[in-house]
């Protein structure tokens, strides 16, 4: 880290960045999971789910970059390897190719996991008066809450 003064002390920046690393890993893992399901979904809902998953992974790709850049803005290196993402992520990889209904359930749970990670980031950001990170976490939380809701109603 270099010497910087953005109104957030070094210890708080490091704590916030650590929580953001988990959000980045969760988001990247969810991106891969969603892209995998986009490629491999089959069944009567194929077209609907294939297109929806594409919308989701496209949005997640932008989010990954925003989160990584926020970590860098705090003057901390952003993780960028599968090994680091596996260690940091709360979302576990899926074995094989589940049925479409199970894909929807898995993605719902994964989005809910990201919401919980966002809440952790928000807690650290608010504690350090880091409005930029708080806004990012709040925006991400809103996206994932809405996506989880939309996925939940598919399997009702």
- At a CB cut-off of 8 Å and minimum separation 6, what does 146 contact? none
- Mean pLDDT, the chain, rounded, equals 96
Full domain range(s) for residue 77: 10-89+97-155
Q: Does residue 14 fall inside a structural domain?
A: yes
Q: Read off the pLDDT of each residue in 112-141 and give the average, rounded to a whole number.
A: 98
Quote the radius of gyration of the chain (alpha carbons, Å). Answer: 16
Angle between helices 46-73 and 131-154 (to 10 degrees): 170
Q: Is pLDDT at 2 greater than 60 in this prediction?
A: no
4 in any annotated domain: no
Given this model, what pLDDT does residue 65 score?
A: 98
End-to-end alpha carbon distance in the chain: 49
- Distance from C-alpha of 2 to C-alpha of 62, rounded to nearest angstrom: 27
Residue 37 lies in a domain: yes
32-64 pLDDT, tens digit each: 999 999 999 999 999 999 999 999 999 999 999
- The verdict on residue 2 lying in a domain is no
Whether residue 5 lies inside any domain: the answer is no
Instruction: Please tell me the predicted confidence (pLDDT) of residue 20.
Output: 98
Confidence (pLDDT) at 51: 96
Looking at the structure of the chain, the number of domains it has is: 1
**86-96 pLDDT per residue, tens:** 999 999 989 99
Query: Residue 1's pLDDT is what?
Result: 47
Q: Model-level pTM?
A: 0.95
What is the token pair recorded at 57?
């992974």
Domain membership flag for residue 1: no
For residue 129, is it within any domain? Answer: yes
Task: Indicate which CATH number applies to the domain containing 74.
Answer: 1.20.1260.10
């Amino acid at each position: 880290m270099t010497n910087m003064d953005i109104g957030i002390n070094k210890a708080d920046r490091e704590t916030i960045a650590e929580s953001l690393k988990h959000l980045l890993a969760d988001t990247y893992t969810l991106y891969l999971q969603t892209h995998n399901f986009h490629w491999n979904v089959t069944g009567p809902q194929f077209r609907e789910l294939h297109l929806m998953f594409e919308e989701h992974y496209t949005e997640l790709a932008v989010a990954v970059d925003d989160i990584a850049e926020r970590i860098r803005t705090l003057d901390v290196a952003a993780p960028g390897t599968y090994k680091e993402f596996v260690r940091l992520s709360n979302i576990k990889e899926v074995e094989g190719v589940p049925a479409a209904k199970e894909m929807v359930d898995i993605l719902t749970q994964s989005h809910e996991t990201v919401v919980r990670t966002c809440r952790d980031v928000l807690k650290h950001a608010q504690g350090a008066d880091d409005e930029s990170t708080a806004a990012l976490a709040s925006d991400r939380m809103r996206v994932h809450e809405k996506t989880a809701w939309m996925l939940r109603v598919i399997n009702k």
